[in-house]
Chain A
Amino acid sequence: MAIAATIPSAQFEGLRPVDGQGLKKKTVEPILKTENLWKLYRAGKVEVPALRGVNFSVAPGESVAVMGPSGCGKSTLLYTIGGLASASRGTVLVDGNDLAQMSDAERTKLRRSKIGFVFQRFNLLPTMTAKGNIAIAQYIHGDGFDPHRFDVVTKLLGLEGRLSHKPSEMSGGEQQRVAIARAIINEPKILLADEPTGNLDTKNSDVVLEMLRQLNKELGQTIVMITHNPEAVTYFDRVVHMRDGVIVDGVPAD
């Protein structure tokens, strides 16, 4: 099913936050903040710093693109702020919760309720249909299947005709839309995207980027995205550059 590059604004009805939460407010606390964040990996007897004292913050409703050469620590930053990896030093505040002080179980619980991930390789469960891949996120969240929310999100992303198909039966663009649906189905505070257009052609890349932009503009979804694509940055409020485990520019003046 062909999907328009722009989703009509009316389709966001039923998804918009009622009280204005999530919309960009410069006066509120950052929804994401790292202070002197270090991440060290051990390679044999040597400690390799992937992040070296990163100070980074994102306001609620903001969309930020993180760019940098391969190996600069972009993915490590994403996984650390998403709670998939633990910080070696420093603080990682997500919606007021310091991930650096949490156990793996506590970070998992926080990730379940507040963070959505979109990956470059889609990372859909190959044995499940599109519907199953999206519904399992609701099941893990613990509230069970919400058919209304499911219908709204799948319709928003133009997936109605593909729900019974497995990932192997879908194009890259469709798979990534399923991945985005899975990431936002539980209304996360932050959407973290690790090069979501890395495996897509130009046309599908534009579609996905436009979807992310509209999620941010219409729903106030806070988005942090890693990308190598210079053209992608035009879809985001702010661009942050990293090199050798540190942010070299783009830190907000808050």
Chain B
Amino acid sequence: MMGEMILRNLLHRPIRTFIGVLAVAVEVSLVVLIVGLTSGILHETAKRVEGVGADVLLQPSSAGRLMGMTNSPMPVKIKERLVELQYIQSVAPVLLQFNSSGGVELIYGIDKSFDEVSGGFVYLQGHGMEGPDDMLLDELAMQSKHVKVGQKFQLLNHEWNVVGIVEHGKGSRIFVPLSTLQSLSGSTDKASLFYIKCTRPEHTEDVIAEIKGILPNYTLTAIKDYVSMMTTTSIPGLNVFVDAMIGLAVCIGLLVIFLTMYTTVIERTRDIGVLKSLGANSPFIVRAVLCESAMLCLLGIFAGVGLSYAVRAGFLKAFPTLAILITPEWILKAAAIALIGAVLGASYPAWVASRKDAVEALTFD
């Protein structure tokens, strides 16, 4: 009976119900997408680093988890010392260049040793880099930048020849010759990091200990540990940003639900008086208002989940290189957050409704 009453009340004012549902949907999708975007980018980055196939990552001591955020590249000559060490199969220096024009991306400057570490690219089109101005892109970067093999592409104020499209998942989306990138960035004979391949994965810890002995001032990370470290909680300030965005989303939902239910209670003052004349007590009135708010919220949650997937699909169509990770865990968390916000938002209107004087309510116009 309560369910029927609530459903009919929601259908009685379709526009108001729609606004309430939309607010909750926006709230849910904001939470899901913001978390999805941050964790998606981190997760995707980590997977691509893992996809290189190396076992150890050597970086300067000042390097942050988000690659490319360093101003102190290392000498490439470090490679010569590393390859002499026991259990090391191959070493690939990589120069990172952060590009923000026409999109946010990290460019890898690599040499032939990258193929030794990674096992080589899988070419979907074209071939490997041969000339100093050759460029490789993965298929997602190709879609994003609308380029084809054989075309010229302007990047870092330099004209490149797109010679190959590779399967995504190996470190970066854009690859250029190491020497050319060094010269363009003024980092001659420098590398931002080294990918190190061990003779056997079991030797990873031994290799790390050995390298620390000769290069104590550098940061060494086992690739498997790197992947697990790429979370929002391990990036300074990122979890604060995510929490702030979630808080903002909750405020939006809570305020709209508050306004919706408050106007509902005012409009239905006489109905509340009728219910009281029938013997409905204060808990009944409160329950009716909160249940209506909860049902509104549930509809909004379903709409929000759908909206999240739709927005993600739209973003991925427009920006194929973007990674938005939508997980069941965060859908449930967003739903719970929305429900708590809806109940809190409806609490005051419910209390107001329960406190209405029955006689005054019955004569309300």
Contacts and interface: CB of A to CB of B under 8 A. Distances in A.
A84 B2 contact: no
Interface in A73-130: 79, 82, 84-85, 105, 108-109, 111-113, 115, 117, 119, 123-128
Interface in B272-287: 273-282, 284
Interface in A29-55: none
B277 A84 contact: yes
Interface in B59-107: none
A208 interface: no
Contact of B5 (A111, A113, A115, A136): A136
B18 to A, nearest CB: 16
B75 to A, nearest CB: 77
Interface in B260-298: 270-271, 273-282, 284
Contact of B278 (A79, A128, A136): A136
B282 A105 contact: yes
Contacts of B274: 123-125
A132 B277 contact: no
Interface string B3-33: 0110011011000000000000000000000
A85 B1 contact: no
Contact of A140 (B8, B9, B270, B278): B278
B276 A145 contact: no
A127 B279 contact: no
Given A119-B362, A123-B273, A123-B274, A108 B5 contact: no
Nearest to B365: A121
A127 B284 CA distance: 18
A140 B362 contact: no
Contacts of A109: 279, 281
A115 B271 CA distance: 18
A111 B8 contact: no
B359 interface: yes
A105 B276 CA distance: 11
Chain A interface size, under 10 / 10 to 19 / 20 to 34 / 35 or more: 20 to 34
A182 B275 CA distance: 11
B149 interface: no
Contacts, number: 71
Given A84-B359, A127-B9, A137 B1 contact: no
A140 B280 contact: yes
Interface string A138-167: 011100010000000000000000000000
A12 B279 CA distance: 26
A135 interface: yes
B362 A128 contact: no
B279 A111 contact: yes
B222 interface: no
Contact of A132 (B4, B12, B275): B4
Chain B CB within 10 Å, residue with most, of A82, A117, A182: A117
A36 to B, nearest CB: 21
A135 B271 CA distance: 15
A241 to B, nearest CB: 23
A125 B5 contact: yes
Chain A CB within 10 Å, residue with most, of B2, B280, B284: B280
Contacts of A124: 274
A136 B279 CA distance: 11
A125 B2 CA distance: 13
Nearest to A114: B279
Contacts of B359: 79, 84-85
Contacts of B11: 127
Chain A CB within 10 Å, residue with most, of B11, B271, B277: B277
A140 B279 contact: yes
Contacts of A115: 279
B41 interface: no
B358 interface: yes
A242 to B, nearest CB: 17
Given A85-B359, A136-B1, A140-B275, A108 B12 contact: no
Contacts of B280: 108, 112, 140
A84 B279 CA distance: 9
Interface string A170-195: 00000000000010000000000000
B279 A108 contact: yes
Contacts of A112: 278-281
B1 A125 contact: no
Given A111-B279, A128-B8, 9 more contacts: A85-B359, A108-B276, A112-B279, A115-B279, A125-B275, A127-B11, A128-B4, A140-B278, A140-B280
22 contacts: A82-B277, A84-B359, A85-B358, A85-B359, A105-B282, A108-B279, A108-B281, A109-B279, A112-B280, A117-B278, A119-B277, A119-B362, A123-B270, A123-B273, A125-B5, A125-B271, A127-B9, A128-B8, A136-B1, A137-B278, A140-B279, A141-B279
Interface of B: 1-2, 4-5, 8-9, 11-12, 270-271, 273-282, 284, 358-359, 362
